[in-house]
Structure 1
């Protein structure tokens, strides 16, 4: 039977730490009570990390910082060599780290992704951090589907290209998600990281840790609307076919200023492919 890490358990772990109990004794108490050792260790790590992050925020300090993907921008390059092509750098912002690329995908690759995804589309879901599952949410009105990582030659080629572009292992990426936005469809501003204070987050991050970066690839040109917006920094990226926007977030906190959304499509339709990058290997 699967053992569920409840909010009550996490609170108990925090209380033991506050009382000065050694980690070894807390772990032993959980094992004696019937908890699987791996589950107990995971519960302790995520509970205490979330507690420390909460204290830091309360004291005006940012929570835990993670290593993040990062394109090689040291010499302000016009192009980045990703092995099978050179991808043009259109613009870059340091805080938050946002880089817009041109020509990440060819027209043929854009069409092939749309054609492969179209028969598998369904109403897009969002991650339910309260439960660790997925749910329909009114803020997201697109249709979507996921390719498995390395599902076919096209997906593998794009994943390898992204890995080289942002210097992050292929295995640390979730599967490519293709999304379709009809006229009026949108995705209201949100964060891509998983809220560490939500009860479902520990089960979500067991598959590869936190999300630390996002690549949004544009597969067609909407006639009007559909840009990717970053409200905190007053930035909007136009959804031009073959281009992409990359952004990273070193901590699961609004201080990263990575609030972003998909503006409503006013005329035409929008197709995008999204690649989320995790701290560790995504399984």
Structure 2
């Protein structure tokens, strides 16, 4: 089996941990961002937040209750984080979607979902016609809520707790390139305080929107 060059690159990052499960290629790196960078990103999210949406409506109005912010690519801190992710992963920045921030207040969550677009979904052609499907996800916790807000990957029995600056990065595909349902994950309810994250998704082809 050919070695995934992105996984190999991430494995070489000092202090990174790889999930020891063949079902899912997932990495965790504590202190990927410093506290000042996280605070700056939180301030941007608070300025630009709006209700989050999902690609294919499923009739559950409580499926995703967070708020989202499209982070400005010309902000020097955002640009620096973008560059740090590209350096750590080896992923081509041209394949990256614009970085987003998410804010979860008490009671808000994102129920179990995958980041890739379902080929039989109503909006598959709309979202994937230009750049293809999502390949890798990079998510960074910006703070620690008072309670709750963990990310649970049920298929591999892994729950990741928020820590300021912690990076979680995973491949949405299997080794053969097929979509991996084991990436199903749940942004669990915040029970106290507020949770902030940033997310960067990468595509099969250059982002051309």
Deviation at 1:224, TM superposition (A): 1.4
Q: Across the two proteins, how many residue pairs are aligned to each other?
A: 202
Unmatched tracts of structure 2, length 5 or more:
none
Partner of 1:104: 32
Partner of 1:72: 8
Partner of 1:248: 171
Equivalent of residue 263 in structure 1, options 188, 192, 198: 188
Asked whether the equivalents of residues 226 and 238 of structure 1 are also in contact (C-alpha less than 8 Å), the reply is yes
Partner of 1:145: 69
Asked whether the equivalents of residues 184 and 266 of structure 1 are also in contact (C-alpha less than 8 Å), the reply is yes
Task: Write the distance in 1 (CA, Å) between the matches of 2:182 and 2:108.
Answer: 24
| Structure 2 counterparts to residues 176-255 of structure 1, below 5 A | 176-250=99-173, 251=177, 253=179, 255=180
Asked whether the equivalents of residues 9 and 89 of structure 2 are also in contact (C-alpha less than 8 Å), the reply is no
Task: Write the distance in 2 (CA, Å) between the matches of 1:69 and 1:244.
Answer: 19
For residues 270 and 221 of structure 1, do their structure 2 counterparts lie closer, same or farther at Cα, with a shift above 3 Å needed? same
Unmatched tracts of structure 1, length 5 or more:
1-66, 81-86
Deviation at 1:233, TM superposition (A): 0.9
Larger Rg: 1
TM-score relative to the length of structure 1? 0.66
Deviation at 1:119, TM superposition (A): 1.4
How big is the alpha-carbon RMSD for the aligned residues of Structure 1 and Structure 2?
2.4
TM-score relative to the length of structure 2? 0.87
Task: Write the distance in 2 (CA, Å) between the matches of 1:191 and 1:166.
Answer: 20
1:194-252 deviations in Å (ceiling 9; x for gaps): 11112421121123111011111000011211111101111001110000111112256
Asked whether the equivalents of residues 98 and 245 of structure 1 are also in contact (C-alpha less than 8 Å), the reply is yes
Q: Which has the higher contact order (CA 8 A, sep 6+)?
A: 2
Task: Write the distance in 2 (CA, Å) between the matches of 1:69 and 1:122.
Answer: 36
